[in-house]
Amino acid sequence: MTLGSAQFAAHGPVLETGRLRLRLPKLSDFEPWADFFASPRSVHEGGPLPRAAAWRHWAADVALWPLRGYGPFAVEDRQTGAYLGEVGIYHADDYPAPELGWFVVPAAEGRGIALEAARAVLDWVRVTFDWPHVTNIIEPANARSIALGLRLGGVIDPSLPGIDPGDVVIRHDLRGAA
């Protein structure tokens, strides 16, 4: 038996906060995802990307769920169902370890969406996996993401590897109280 996309999504974790629902990505999420990654705003996330490259990147991220048991959550507004971005655990082959990452669409910026969603993902990781920590791997020029990683309670740890030389690596300890 194979699961269709709706059945697969129904079997993945769903996290809820006061304003947000975090769920497995679905095909309709690709359009706003591709729009973000076509824009200059995606420069710190490996973009801008042409549509075909965006599809390969998105599909590889979504494939983390069945392959590793974690991956990106699509973030949506609980009241409207609007797609607001993506927050989750990324672990491509060239990543040294699982990484907590995020982005929000322009309409969601400055509203605390990434912070709220990232806190929910950290809580989920803390109770789901027996990991001592998770990291953020951030380009040094991405001051907003560095600030968010620190606001989440992480600490810059130069002893941990990034992906590219000069990456800022922020460690979030998971063994303490939630």
pTM (2 d.p.): 0.91
pLDDT interval class at 10 (50, 70, 90):
low
In 10 A of CB 3, how many CB atoms? 11
pLDDT of the residue at 3: 39
Rounded CA gap, 98 and 89, in Å?
6
* Section 76-95 average pLDDT: 96
For residues 36 and 106, give the distance between their C-alpha atoms in angstroms, rounded to a whole number: 8
Question: Alpha-carbon distance 162 to 11, whole Å?
Answer: 32
Average pLDDT over residues 37-66: 88
pLDDT cut 90: percent of the chain above it:
82
- Structural domains for the chain: 5-173 (3.40.630.30)
Peptide bond into 48 cis (omega under 30): yes
